[in-house]
């Protein structure tokens, strides 16, 4: 697995390789329990009758296949949280007419396998503040345990995750921006899952780092789901943040 992919969600799902070949996730059933779905038991069926007919080779990587669609009032699709984060950053920069700050928008790679892109960018830019756009798992579902994060209640300002405690100054700047922009926000405190903030915060002499996360259901599955209102509120919050004279 390249990243936090959940085997439980993959059986019967499709994936696509860089050369266009499509495969379906299957499972070895011999000696396996009925409910057992482990990484070692999964395979990708590319429709080849013989090994020499296979359109892919060992080491080729594939990504999940899942079309974007509107699901009631929500949006769903594969890798939607990351794609929404990119859209949020693009639209923020597009709407930002002027700012008293030097603003860098960074689109990072390999967050799930070592936060390599964020670390390299932070080292090169040496920012005074870094604000990470991330995803927050929303479990506001029937039968789920109590969830601190829900769809439609605003973006989540991160206080803590598995590896990072958000810098108090950066966290407060985000909270003040939310108040000034009159947008709702949620407080995210989690002992699980990290993001790009960990490596950014520890770069060079240390960087004041905060994180704004988009609430997302079914995170790391082929059908991530979010509320476009949370995206719009995050957009207003970031616009207010970057237009403020004092950080």
Task: Tell me what pLDDT residue 8 has.
Answer: 82
The Cα–Cα gap between 93 and 112 comes to 25
Task: Tell me what pLDDT residue 221 has.
Answer: 86
Q: Which contiguous run of DSSP H or E holds residue 170?
A: helix 168-181
3-class SS of residue 197? helix
Q: Which residues contact 121 (CB under 8 A, 6 or more apart)?
A: 104, 106, 108
The Cα–Cα gap between 239 and 157 comes to 15
Q: Angle, nearest 10°, between helix axes 80-95 and 228-243? A: 40
The Cα–Cα gap between 234 and 62 comes to 31
Task: Tell me what pLDDT residue 76 has.
Answer: 94
CATH 3.40.630.10 positions along the chain are 69-243
> Any idea what the Cα angle at residue 156 is, between residues 152 and 158, rounded to 5°?
165
Task: Tell me what pLDDT residue 204 has.
Answer: 86
Task: Tell me what pLDDT residue 112 has.
Answer: 67
For residue 178, give the nearest of 138, 134, 233, 218 by alpha carbon.
Answer: 233
Owner of token pair 């090994």:
51
Beta carbons of 210 and 160 less than 8 angstroms apart: no
Between 3.90.1300.10, 3.40.630.10, 1.10.579.10, 3.20.20.80, what CATH number should domain 69-243 receive?
3.40.630.10
Tens of pLDDT along the chain (247 residues) come to: 887 788 888 888 899 999 999 999 998 877 766 666 778 888 999 999 998 999 999 899 999 988 899 989 999 998 899 999 999 999 999 999 888 989 999 998 776 666 677 888 888 889 999 999 999 889 888 877 766 889 999 999 998 887 888 899 999 999 999 999 999 999 988 877 667 777 787 788 888 989 999 999 988 888 899 999 999 999 999 999 998 877 7
Using alpha carbons, list the distances in angstroms from residue 7 to 89, 99, 155, 221, 232: 30, 45, 28, 9, 32
Task: Tell me what pLDDT residue 15 has.
Answer: 93
Task: Tell me what pLDDT residue 190 has.
Answer: 81
For residue 220, give the nearest of 103, 44, 64, 34 by alpha carbon.
Answer: 64
Beta carbons of 206 and 59 less than 8 angstroms apart: no
Find how far residue 129's CA is from the centre of its chain: 20
Task: Tell me what pLDDT residue 95 has.
Answer: 92
Using alpha carbons, list the distances in angstroms from residue 218 to 33, 79, 139, 151: 24, 10, 8, 12
The tokens of 237 are what?
């919050």
């Amino acid at each position: 697995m390249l990243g936090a992919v959940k085997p439980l969600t993959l059986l019967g799902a499709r994936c696509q390789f860089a050369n266009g070949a499509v495969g379906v996730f299957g499972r070895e059933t011999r000696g396996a329990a009925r409910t057992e779905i482990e990484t070692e038991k999964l395979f990708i069926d590319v429709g080849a009758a013989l090994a020499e007919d296979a359109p892919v080779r060992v080491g080729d990587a594939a990504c999940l296949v899942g079309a974007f669609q509107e699901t009631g009032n929500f949006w769903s699709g594969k890798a939607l949280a990351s794609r929404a984060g990119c859209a949020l950053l693009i639209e923020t920069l597009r709407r930002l007419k002027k700012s008293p700050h030097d603003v860098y928008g960074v689109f990072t790679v390999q967050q799930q396998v070592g936060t390599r892109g964020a670390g390299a960018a932070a080292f090169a830019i040496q920012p005074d503040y870094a604000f990470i756009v991330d995803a927050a798992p929303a479990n506001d579902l029937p039968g789920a345990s109590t969830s601190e994060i829900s769809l439609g209640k605003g973006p989540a300002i991160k206080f803590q995750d598995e590896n990072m405690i958000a810098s108090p100054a950066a966290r407060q700047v985000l909270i003040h921006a939310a108040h000034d922009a009159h947008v709702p926000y949620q407080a995210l405190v989690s002992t699980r899952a990290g993001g790009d903030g960990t490596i950014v915060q520890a770069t060079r002499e240390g960087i004041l780092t905060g994180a704004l996360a988009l609430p997302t259901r079914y995170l790391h599955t082929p059908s991530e789901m979010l509320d476009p209102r949370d995206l719009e509120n995050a957009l207003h919050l970031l616009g207010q943040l970057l237009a403020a004279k004092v950080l």
